Amino acid sequence: MKNRFFRVLSVCAAAVTVLLCSAVPQVYADNERTELSFTSEEQDYINSHGTVKVGYVTDRIPVSFENKDGEADGISRYIFDRVSQLSGLGFEYEALPVKDVTYDYLAEHELDLVTSVEFNEANKKARGILISDPYLSSRKVIVARGDLKFRYDEHFTAAIATGSQTLKKVLAEMFPNFELKDYDSISDCFDAVNSGDADLMIQNQYVVEYWLAKPEYEDLNVIPIAGLDDQLCFSAVVSLDGKPGPSQEDGQILIDILDKTIDYIGEDETGNYIIQGVMENQYEYEFSDFVRRYRYAVIIFIISVIVITIMSVMLVRQRIRFAESRADAKAKGRFLSTMSHEIRTPLNGLIGLNHLMSQKLDDKEKVSEYLRQSSVTAQYLLSLVNDILDSSKLQEEKMELAMKPVDIGFVIETIGTIEQTAMQDKKLQYIVDTDIKYPYVIGDEVRIQQVLLNLLDNARKFTPKGGIVRLSLKQEKQNDDKILTSVTVSDTGKGMSEEFQAKIFDVFSRELETVSKGNQGTGLGLYISRRLAKLMGGDLTCVSRKGEGSSFTFTFAAEQAESSGKDILQPEELKKGHPSILIAEDNELNGEIMLELLQSSGFKAEIAENGKKALKKFSDSAPGTYGVILMDLLMPEMDGFEAAKAIRELDREDAKTVRIFACTANSFTEERDKAFASGMNDFISKPVDIDELLAKLYAVPSDNSKV
């Protein structure tokens, strides 16, 4: 149960990325790529064949499988569809059996092509087939029970699906001490390991992630394994020993066409298909089992993800409408890249924290700390979405900073947590050197984090494996008594040319050489970061030399604060009298979460599903029944504005005194003004800051007549 809980949390975090990818049309700047062209022989093949018959592997969810409608599905199918779009070839799919697929079977069924073939020397030399370049690269991982102590040189029984005979040969060479035991299918291999019939199994990481979501396998763990990549390719079937079928020449032409389209599609676009395939094909199981047991952790996470998702979809739609109005496909492509660049890093940190929690469930202090960091990271991610939405305000110099006490040490710790997993994956040495003389200053914590994360993300991206990323911080008091904080992020990467440094802070600026080597970058992050630095009374500068790395220095000036301003109310400080609360919320999940939060904090509360029902509950109640109404703004039948106005107009004393708090994800200025104009007393933005909400509620007398 515990592993299943944290796996679902990881899925929820990654779902934000999928929503962004699915909400934005697949716009690829083809005009910026090398033109895709075919030789006359290849074009003749396309024109003459039209449709290619494909043998489709069906037991590797989400890579390659048959869906409920009996259709070929998965990451391989997405890539096939893109190949068809680019080449003009059509594909007809025939499901392959799980085992006993021989050359005779392929020839008998007149198949031209086979999916999900492992790219290795054995298949390169195999007679009767020709293989393409890899179209999908991932890792193979070990799956074993949690109590297994794995050693490379010890004897273990490894479960192997009968359809994976090539893998069997590879494992026999790599692990001569292994006893390889055949099973009919991949699911049978999981059952064997889970029951103890086999010690372990080795399989594609995406397939493993799918099956480990099954509640039955909650005691199984993943063990990374070095030197065993899983590269999948297409295999063209050619005539062998005079048997009927495609000629060697036709098979090679087909492979050449596929290689060209695979190369044209590239790693970035393939990455989108991987995300889509993994997230759209999750193992289906009951959500309620772990919600009841881990409800508080789930509540924190779900609130963050729901609001981030809503804001992200709104933002994407707004940008799409803008791009369409200008008929600018390139703008859409740039926007999608920017969203991916800015959001993936905190999502990576969030998923990493969930993994850490799953390993430390018995350590309450650790889990509590990880939950706190998860909440902080989710809050930053929401603010980041809002920042992208407000990027135009920076250009128009209309951006306003949210000035509050900031704990500098906590900011440095938070960004380190977010970047930790990605740094470790790339085997980078991350060094932090701080001289914090003034730990608390007045500033915009979210904007400071945004600038630092962008600098760390760039340093990690452009530093080769085994390199060093260093963050140094120092402070000094200026003549005007403000604190000048200077943070330098340096790396041992490739560095930049002088020509590029002259334009590095321009919008969408990217160096051609770094792009050609596969390093992603939108050019938007540094532009926003420098504008924010100047807005904070500082600057962002760069020093770099080719082959010697880069160093970015971010400075900002701020007044000194006495503390972080994040003191949490202690139980003895809270009021004994609690006002009764009416929750007007049309989203059932949001309503139930808020109800449980309030009841667990000692409040009496009930839910009204929309503004009309909230008005009726209030008007039918005895005067003074409710002290506070938490009013969502966008609801069916009657929205929050109308409901608040109608309550204020009722002919009863408490209609004028009851506290009405707008509680909504629409936190724009015009929404606030409209809420206050309709008779509301306060405005609370979603996701709700629970400590802030409780402080406001405890300040309301339990006797409504005294409000």
For the stretch 615-639, pLDDT in tens is 999 999 999 899 999 999 888 899 9
Q: Kindly state the tokens that stand for 168.
A: 């069997």
- The per-residue pLDDT of the chain, averaged, comes to 80
- Chain segment 14-32, per-residue pLDDT in tens: 444 333 443 333 444 444 5
Q: Indicate the burial class of 147 (C-beta count within 10 angstroms; 0-12, 13-18, 19 or more).
A: exposed
Residue 108: pLDDT band (50, 70, 90) is confident
Q: What CA–CA distance (Å, rounded) separates 195 from 186?
A: 14
Provide the pLDDT for residue 456: 93
- Chain segment 440-454, per-residue pLDDT in tens: 999 988 889 989 998
Q: Between the ranges 115-124, 202-211, 641-650, where is the mean pLDDT highest?
A: 641-650
212 or 433, greater pLDDT: 433
Provide the pLDDT for residue 645: 95
Residues 6+ apart with CB under 8 A from 533: 451, 539, 540, 554, 555, 556
What residue has token string 């972080």?
Answer: 564
Provide the pLDDT for residue 282: 81
Q: What CA–CA distance (Å, rounded) separates 701 from 402?
A: 30
Q: What is the 3-state secondary structure (H, E, C) of 624-647?
A: CCCCEEEECCCCCCCCHHHHHHHH
Which residue from 688, 586, 692, 591 is spatially nearest to 640, judged by alpha carbons?
Answer: 586
**Domains of the chain and any CATH numbers:** 37-132+232-280 (3.40.190.10), 137-231 (3.40.190.10), 291-558 (3.30.565.10), 571-706 (3.40.50.2300)
Q: Which stretch of 49-53, 284-288, 398-402 has the lowest confidence by average pLDDT?
A: 284-288
Provide the pLDDT for residue 12: 46
Q: Kindly state the tokens that stand for 9.
A: 């949390």
Residues 6+ apart with CB under 8 A from 668: none
Residue 649: pLDDT band (50, 70, 90) is very high
E strands present in 153-254: 157-161, 179-183, 200-204, 220-237
Q: Between the ranges 287-296, 333-342, 390-399, 689-698, where is the mean pLDDT highest?
A: 689-698
| pLDDT mean over 584-611 | 89
Provide the pLDDT for residue 706: 40
Provide the pLDDT for residue 373: 77
- Chain segment 174-231, per-residue pLDDT in tens: 888 899 998 988 889 999 999 999 999 998 899 998 888 887 888 899 988 877 788 8
- Chain segment 30-52, per-residue pLDDT in tens: 445 567 899 999 999 999 988 99
Residue 392: pLDDT band (50, 70, 90) is low
Q: Kindly state the tokens that stand for 217.
A: 């396998």
Q: Are 112 and 238 in contact (CB under 8 A)?
A: no
Q: Are 32 and 251 in contact (CB under 8 A)?
A: no
Q: What percent of the chain is predicted at pLDDT more than 90?
A: 33
Provide the pLDDT for residue 487: 96
Provide the pLDDT for residue 520: 43
Q: Which stretch of 50-54, 78-82, 340-344, 443-447 has the lowest confidence by average pLDDT?
A: 340-344
Which helix (H) or strand (E) is 53 found in, with range?
Answer: strand 51-56
Provide the pLDDT for residue 619: 94
Residue 333: pLDDT band (50, 70, 90) is low
